Every structure is written in structure tokens, then in C-alpha cells.
């Protein structure tokens, strides 16, 4: 991805909602909370539009809780898209999730590099290529597609592209709104150059 990205806001453009209606509080209760028990900043920021928050929790929550992809592979895709989009919030949140589903510290750090030096399997390398190609060209190349199609079935291929696209959208929202890291959430891996 281009290193000529637009600087990210250093403060929130929309502050997270702190005093919400009962309906919004119920929706926020369906999301994941920060370690201090408050709603994650992404959800509290989306709460400015309750209808979008409700549908986002259902839609993105499907991929995280009921999707057909193995969690480790899903997190490779989300982390790499987060890196490509330079979305530190997305990368930080999914660093924690990635660790819980078996990604190593070295694998996560490797996903935040311009050229992966980690010895990825052919299947994992194809997931990374899918993310890089979608983020740069809005299309997956034929060679990458052939590698993916040799491993994944049609439903999984559909979900791979949808997860990458969804988290590209989410990354753009997080970056544009200046959503800040939640307490206890890591930023970029040490030594990462943006």
C-alpha cells in the first residue's frame, strides 16, 4: 500500500456517545466492552446513528461469531486489511482477537510489514495476497484466486472477500472519525514503520 496516506486525526472527530437512549444502551450492551466495562469506542461512535449500529452489530458480528471461516484465517485477513488501511484501532482490536485464536506475536507483527518475512504457508500467503490486492486494486488476481480456490470452497471464498471488504470499510470509518484506542488495546507492533 502507498505510504502517502492522508494523516489520521489524532483526536475524535465524533466523540463516543456517553449519554444514550435506552435503545442505544441496549444495542451497546450487545457489543464487546473495553476492559473497564464501557462500550468499545467503535460502537460508542457508531451510536451516533442507532440504525447503523444495530445493523453493523448483526452484520459484522456474523463474521466474528457465526462465519464459515476458521477464526485464525479470518483474523489474518482482518489484520492485514487493517494494516493496509493504516487503521491502528482495527489492528489493535484484532491483535487481541488474533492472539486469542492462535496467531503468534511474530505472525501479527509480520502482518504489519510491507514485505512479509514470516514463513507463511501457501494458504496463509494467499490470504495476505487477497488483502493486498483488494486494498490496492479492488480485485483479486487470477494467480491468487487459483491458490485460494484450491483450498477454500465457494462459501468460504465469498466470505473471505466479504470480510476483507467489510473491514476495509470499517477501517475507513475508524480512520475518518478518529476513533481512539480503547484502554488496554495495543497499537502497532513494536518497530512498525508506517
CA–CA distances in Å: residue 169 to residues 29, 91, 176: 23, 14, 11
Distance CA 132, CA 99 (A): 22
The pTM score is: 0.94
> Residue 2 pLDDT > 50, yes or no?
no
Placement of cell 462465519 in the chain: 67
Whole-number pLDDT of residue 118: 84
Is 102 exposed, middle or buried, given 0-12, 13-18 or 19+ CB atoms closer than 10 A? exposed
- What domains sit in the chain, N to C, each tagged with a CATH number? 22-65 (no CATH), 71-177 (1.20.1290.10)
pLDDT tens-digit profile of 173-185? 999 999 999 999 9
pLDDT tens-digit series, residues 47-96: 999 999 999 999 999 999 999 999 999 999 999 999 999 999 999 999 99
The whole-number average pLDDT for the span 128-146 is 97
Give bridge partners of residue 154 from the DSSP assignment. Answer: none
Residue 1 is predicted with a pLDDT of 47
Residue 3 has pLDDT above 60, yes or no: no
Tell me the pLDDT of the chain averaged across its residues: 92
Amino acid at each position: 500500500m502507498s505510504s502517502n496516506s492522508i494523516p489520521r486525526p489524532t483526536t475524535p472527530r465524533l466523540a463516543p456517545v456517553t449519554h444514550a437512549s435506552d435503545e442505544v444502551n441496549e444495542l451497546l450492551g450487545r457489543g464487546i466492552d473495553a476492559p473497564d466495562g464501557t462500550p468499545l469506542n467503535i460502537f460508542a461512535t457508531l451510536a451516533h446513528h442507532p440504525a447503523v449500529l444495530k445493523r453493523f452489530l448483526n452484520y459484522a458480528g456474523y463474521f466474528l461469531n457465526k462465519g464459515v471461516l476458521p477464526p485464525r484465517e479470518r483474523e489474518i485477513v482482518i489484520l492485514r486489511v487493517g494494516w493496509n488501511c493504516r487503521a491502528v484501532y482495527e489492528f489493535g482490536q484484532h491483535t487481541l482477537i488474533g492472539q486469542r485464536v492462535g496467531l503468534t506475536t511474530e505472525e501479527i507483527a509480520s502482518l504489519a510489514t510491507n514485505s512479509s518475512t514470516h514463513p507463511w504457508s501457501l494458504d496463509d500467503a494467499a490470504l495476505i495476497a487477497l488483502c493486498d490486492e483488494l486494498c490496492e486494486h479492488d480485485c483479486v488476481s487470477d494467480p491468487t484466486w487459483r491458490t485460494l480456490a484450491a483450498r477454500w470452497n465457494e462459501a468460504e471464498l465469498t466470505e473471505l472477500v466479504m470480510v476483507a471488504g467489510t473491514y476495509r470499510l470499517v477501517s475507513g470509518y475508524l480512520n475518518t472519525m478518529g476513533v481512539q484506542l480503547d484502554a488496554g488495546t495495543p497499537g502497532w507492533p513494536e518497530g512498525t514503520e508506517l
